[in-house]
Amino acid sequence: MKSSYTLLSQSSRCAARAGEIRTLHGTIQTPVFMPVGTQATVKGMTPENLLAIGAQIILANTYHLFLRPGHTLIQQFGGLHKFMNWDGPILTDSGGFQIYSLKELARITEEGATFKSHLDGSTLFLSPEDAVSVQEALGSDIMMCLDTCIPYPASREEASNATALTARWAERCRKAQRPTGQLLFGIVQGGMYPDLRARSVEDMTSIGFDGYALGGLSVGEPSEVMYEMTAQTAALLPYEFPKYVMGVGTPEDLVECVFRGVDMFDCVMPTRNARNGMLFTSRGRLVIKNACYYNDPLPADENCGCYTCRNYSRAYLRHLYMAKEILASLLNTIHNLHYFVNLMKQMRMAISADRFEEFRREFYEMREQEIPTV
């Protein structure tokens, strides 16, 4: 199978690598962070805002769009790109994690997932074949197989059964895929059991996909366990295909997973925390509601060049947040997403210069410094 991924540079002292992924709507430079636009919108952002911060690709969610407004309607409008006015690449999650998170509202069988809509309680069914056809109708550039997410902790039997079901579903997804030019990624499961992860890698690579995701991580396990599973699994996946850790994570998680060879990430953390008044900075997290920023003229991060930091003080951002103004969410989200996107750009540059380990050390040294206030 010809890969859409090209390796451009590799660290000589760790697994960090830089490359590019070719899609129907453009080429993505990796490692890359994908802002989450669950319902065909990145909360608090316009497409123009996303372009301004340097976002290359965004993520939308099959489960939510399947429920509302429906993939058929979106297809009538020319697909997701035209519907939401975003001409860059889009990845759609299959909905497996959302069905997993429904818990009592969902029932998993060999055929697929039967679940009750969280909107109106109606009973719905999604098979692996349905997940692919819905994503094809949405017109996303990268589609994900339907999988069964494994909770933490999980017994070995539970993890083994779910991993085997994910493999059978993945084969059905691949067979259902039509030749549209869209990429389809398989998802590696296995819980926190290294041998089950290795078996899942064998299952996915034997089927053959355009990329491979590491699922079932960042579900409550300690960071050191997540990093161990990431390193072990990423090392087993074929180097000529993109590697994606789903739902991760903090800036520290991004640096550590790139260090271990991962190319792609998504997480709601920068947008969700922005709405809650928490800003990511080069020196760590800044809680804008804190009284010490009441009259602080400094930007959120003196080392940041985003629109928010170029134009607004901490005092103003605190005022907006305390007054519950909509603009608070917009400006905070611009800053947080710029921070995440720029962090990935810095990592790409460090890998290309073969100084990723130095970058990693400097990243942590900066975070040990106190956030200055006036």
**Which DSSP category does 43 fall into?**
T
What is the residue whose two structure tokens read 């094809």?
Answer: 136
Catalytic residue among 203, 253, 263, 266: 266
> Is 93 among the catalytic positions?
yes
Q: What is the dihedral of CA 330, 336, 342, 343, to 10 degrees?
A: -170
CA-to-CA separations, 316 to 55, 267, 289, 321, in angstroms, rounded:
26, 27, 11, 9
Choose among 234, 127, 140: nearest CA to 184.
140
Determine whether 120 is an active site residue. no
Catalytic residue among 93, 141, 147, 301: 93
CA distances in angstroms from 147 to 150, 183, 216, 226, listed in the order given: 9, 16, 10, 19
Task: Kindly state the helix (H) or strand (E) to which residue 27 belongs, with its residue range.
Answer: strand 26-30
Helix/strand/coil (H/E/C) assignment for every residue in 62-74: HHHHHHCCCHHHH
What element of type H or E holds 123? strand 123-126
Strand, helix or coil at 190?
A: coil
Q: Helix crossing, 314-322 with 326-352: angle to 10°? A: 130
- 210 in Cβ contact with 184 (< 8 Å): yes
Which of 117, 56, 91 has its CA nearest to residue 185? 91
- How many angstroms separate the CA atoms of 338 and 251, rounded? 12
Active site residues: 93, 266
